[in-house]
Amino acid sequence: MLIIPAIDLLNSNVVRLEKGDMDKFKIYSKDPLSVAKSFEDMGVERLHIVDLDGAKKGSLENFDIIEKIVKNTSLSVDVGGGIRDISRAQRYFDLGVKYVTIGTIAVKDPETTKDILEKYPNSIILGIDARDGFVATDGWYENSNKRAKDLVDDYIGFKVASIIYTDISRDGMLTGINVDATVELSEKSPFPVIASGGLKSEKDIFELEKRSVYGCIVGKAFYEGLIDLKYVMKQIGK
């Protein structure tokens, strides 16, 4: 199973939100590049970056910071937040980003999403952020009437790299991954599913691995010192 640490960027800082609320956040570092390098020093190979400002505004707000991380580390980076057309995806791929995560347009603009998937096969991640079973958009500020599995079904037949599934109600709360919902989606999805939101302990990770989930995003639990990332990677083998 892939273990993928996360850097969430807000006002140029590394933060974690509570339930996706951008008014409720904790700053963990004002130097995102040093955080990325620390992950690299631990032997991490992949990094998940979220431009929270971009997700809210629908633009690439932290592009320069992400550029520094890509250019100054060997990490395989996936980026999400504010990517709402092909040109923005192209900017990140030109930069050297490995994967681009799209969420809002997957719900609101399926035709553009399909164009992006066709242009970048196996390089696009669908970010599915669910609140009360329905997918949220626009930096989690808006709720749609689309369920997670229905959104997955919309893109069957396209070469989606993977899905990042986040239970918003648990994100940043250290209440534990919603394992059952993640596994249910994983079993029904033709694409690999990466769990996100609420991870609180190494036990969560081992449970996900036991149930054959493809990957797991590690955020607040690491920053709060609740998970030994080196130990987990050694046990998982990734």
Start-end of H helices in 42-147: 52-57, 63-72, 86-95, 104-108, 110-119
Q: How many domains does the chain have?
A: 1
The confidence score (pLDDT) of residue 133 equals: 79
Range of the domain at 151: 2-236
Is residue 152 within 8 Å of residue 181, measured between CB atoms? no
- Please give the angle made by the CA atoms of 103, 204 and 141, to the nearest 5 degrees: 25
CATH code, 223? 3.20.20.70
Identity of the residue numbered 155 = Y
**From the centroid of its chain, how far is CA 117?**
17
8, 53, 167, 204: the active-site residue: 8
For residue 8, indicate whether it is catalytic.
yes
For residue 31, indicate whether it is catalytic.
no
Task: List CB contacts of 65: < 8 A, sequence separation 6 or more.
Answer: 9, 12, 32, 33
Its pTM stands at 0.93
200, two tokens: 């609180």
Residue (of 32, 120, 20) closest to 73 by Cα position: 32
How many beta carbons lie within 10 A of that of residue 231, not counting itself? Answer: 10
The confidence score (pLDDT) of residue 24 equals: 87
The confidence score (pLDDT) of residue 85 equals: 94
- Go through the chain and tell me how many residues it has: 238
Question: Averaged in consecutive runs of 10 residues, what is the pLDDT profile of the chain (238 residues)?
Answer: 96 89 91 98 96 90 97 98 94 98 94 97 95 81 87 97 89 79 94 93 93 94 93 84
51, 78, 129, 204: the active-site residue: 129
The confidence score (pLDDT) of residue 150 equals: 95
Task: List CB contacts of 225: < 8 A, sequence separation 6 or more.
Answer: none
